[in-house]
């Protein structure tokens, strides 16, 4: 998607959802997963991903786990209990938003 403004507000919701489904993930893995799920339609930029992850971590929605992989350290992100609750409410919010936008973009023909 060329217009990244469209998904920017939903980025943290996407992250929470992916982490809920995959237990733990690292930054690069998240970018690849999004690419794969959207068949390359949506690309999360590195400059947006890490700030979003760090913000969620500071808010207490994510916790980190470090692992040694080959000759370097890898930082995995996992949902905390608060993160799980946050995911549910944010997804509901996003779904309502999508419906609202649908109503504007494709208004249902009204009778009369």
- What residues line the site for other proteins (CB under 8 A)? 26-29, 45-47, 50-51, 54-55, 57-59, 64-75
Q: How far apart are CA 35 and CA 66, in angstroms?
A: 24
Strand order in the sheet with 72-79: 24-26, 72-79, 62-69
Rounded Cα distance between 39 and 45, Å, is 16
Minimal distance, residue 44 CB to other proteins, in Å: 10
Token pair belonging to 14? 């996407």
For the CB of residue 32, give the shortest distance to other proteins in the complex, in Å: 8
* For other proteins, the closer CB: 41 or 99: 41
In the complex, what is the shortest distance from the CB of residue 13 to other proteins, in angstroms, rounded to a whole number? 18
């Amino acid at each position: 998607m060329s217009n990244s403004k469209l998904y920017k507000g939903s980025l943290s919701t996407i992250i929470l959802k992916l982490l809920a489904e995959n237990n733990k993930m690292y930054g690069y893995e998240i970018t690849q997963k999004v690419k794969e799920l959207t068949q390359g339609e949506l690309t999360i930029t590195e400059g947006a991903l890490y700030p979003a992850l760090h913000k969620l971590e500071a808010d207490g929605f994510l916790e980190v786990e470090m692992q040694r992989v080959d000759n370097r350290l890898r930082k995995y992100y996992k949902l905390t209990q608060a993160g799980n609750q946050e995911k549910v409410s944010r997804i509901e919010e996003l779904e309502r938003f999508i419906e609202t936008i649908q109503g504007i973009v494709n208004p249902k023909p009204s009778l009369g």
